[in-house]
Amino acid sequence: MAFNGFAGQPTLGTGTLAESGTMISTTYIRAVRQYLYSPPINSDQPIALPARFELGQNFPNPFNPSTVIPFALDKSAQGQIAIYNLTGQIVRSFDLHGYAAGEYQLVWDGKNSNGFAVPSGQYFARLSHDARVQVRKLTLIK
């Protein structure tokens, strides 16, 4: 489901519709900077696209109840961000299919795939995209 977030920024995520018709969302991915390649029509100069693949450190860390996980993609490809607990079980995953090259922020609300709050502890965010992987440690304190 697509809807507009803070200051009209496009966001993708799950949400509920309030009685007033307002969309309420606690987990979403916000496009910070997106690069769509369109070749110039009458130019010999190529357009420079970002050449980085990166999973940034979440902030705040430690967090309660939600945290922002920044990441950058250098091209459009299959990928996902998965949150793991210390035993290696996937707590939550976010599909990145169809995301163009750009910088994004994932806001994780500290809930699992079933919508239940996870306990305090260490978690790992794992970005896998086009056969590449990066991991960062997250700390949830309640």
Among 2.60.40.4070, 2.170.190.11, 3.30.460.40, 3.10.129.10, what is the CATH number of 26-37+48-140? 2.60.40.4070
Output the pLDDT for position 20.
52
Output the pLDDT for position 116.
94
Output the pLDDT for position 118.
96
Distance CA 30, CA 70 (A): 9
How far from 66 is each of 36, 53, 59, 106, 108, CA to CA, in Å? 30, 24, 9, 10, 6
Write down the pTM of the prediction. Answer: 0.72
The secondary structure element, H or E, covering residue 17 is strand 10-17
Distance CA 95, CA 64 (A): 24
Please report, for the chain, the start and end positions of each structural domain, with discontinuous segments joined by +.
26-37+48-140
Closest C-alpha to 50, from 71, 74, 33: 74
Classify residue 106 as exposed, middle or buried by CB count within 10 Å of its CB (0-12, 13-18, 19+).
buried
What torsion do the CA atoms of 70, 75, 78, 83 make, to the nearest 10 degrees?
Answer: -10
pLDDT digit string (tens) for the chain, length 142 residues: 343 444 344 444 445 445 555 444 455 666 666 555 555 566 666 555 556 889 999 999 999 999 999 999 988 889 999 999 999 999 999 999 888 888 889 999 999 999 999 999 999 999 999 889 999 999 999 8
Closest C-alpha to 141, from 116, 107, 117: 117
Long-range contacts of 88-95 (CB under 8 A, 24+ apart): 91/118, 91/123, 94/29
